[in-house]
Amino acid sequence: MSYITLVRHGQANTEARDEASYDKLSPLGHQQANWLGAHLRGTGTHHPRAYCGTLTRHIETAASMGLVDPIQDARLNEIEYFALAQLLQDQKGVLIPEDREGFVEHLPRTFAAWEAGEIDNPPESFDQFTTRVGDVLSEIGAGNGPAIVVTSGGLISMVMRQVLGLDTRSMARVALAIMNTSLHRLHPIGAELSPVLFNAIPHLEAPDRQYAQTHL
């Protein structure tokens, strides 16, 4: 079993309110990824295997990091949060928030309704999402050599749920905390992967880069 470093994509289109519009990096997102790639190279971090989801923001982040020909796997794609939020609004009257404060309350509520099966005809069920994340993580972990994986915050929060036994509300709180281009590392301890790093942004800690520490 090999260790895995998960990377959340760079800042995407923060003004978007649908999946398609959100799925591209902002100029800052490209810069965050470029700085991260330079940091990894500068510290001699070795990842002989590279993966990313098939979303544009994943592919762009990997490219701006300087990752060469990462394996693209749709199982590493994000939850379709905007689609879930729209269904929840249409079916239950739960309004989609317009600001971060509203989003902080909306995301746990959406996750809870999704897990409980209270959202009819979602893009995928909560159980399907859980299974695909567990499957792809197991496959990557079974490979030879350290792996770096560019993905999204919702998927990383599900990974943390699985390795730490979190409930859904705690998973949602983790998702809200995850920063753009943050690092999250899992090491094999015994027969299981365990988190040894969460939400690290060493490439953004210098005073002149702190403005680039973003969540959305």
Q: Are 151 and 165 in contact (CB under 8 A)?
A: no
**For position 182, what pLDDT does the model report?**
98
Per-residue pLDDT tens digits for 58-97: 999 999 999 999 999 999 999 999 999 999 999 999 999 8
Per-residue tokens: 206: 């210098």
What order of strands is seen across the sheet that includes strand 71-72?
71-72, 49-52, 147-151, 4-8, 183-189, 192-200
Beta bridge partners, 25, equal 12
Torsion angle of C-alpha atoms 112, 117, 119, 124, degrees rounded to 10: 100
Residue pLDDT tens, the chain, 216 long: 789 999 999 999 877 677 888 899 999 999 999 999 999 999 999 899 999 999 999 999 999 999 999 999 999 999 999 999 999 999 999 999 888 888 899 999 999 999 999 999 999 999 999 999 999 999 999 999 999 999 999 999 999 999 999 999 999 999 999 999 999 999 999 889 999 999 999 999 999 999 999 998
Tokens of 9: 């994509």
- All residues at 6 or more sequence positions from 11 whose CB lies less than 8 Å from its CB, including other chains: 25, 26, 28, 29, 32, 180, 214, 216
pLDDT at 16: 67
pLDDT for position 129: 98
- Note the pLDDT of residue 114: 98
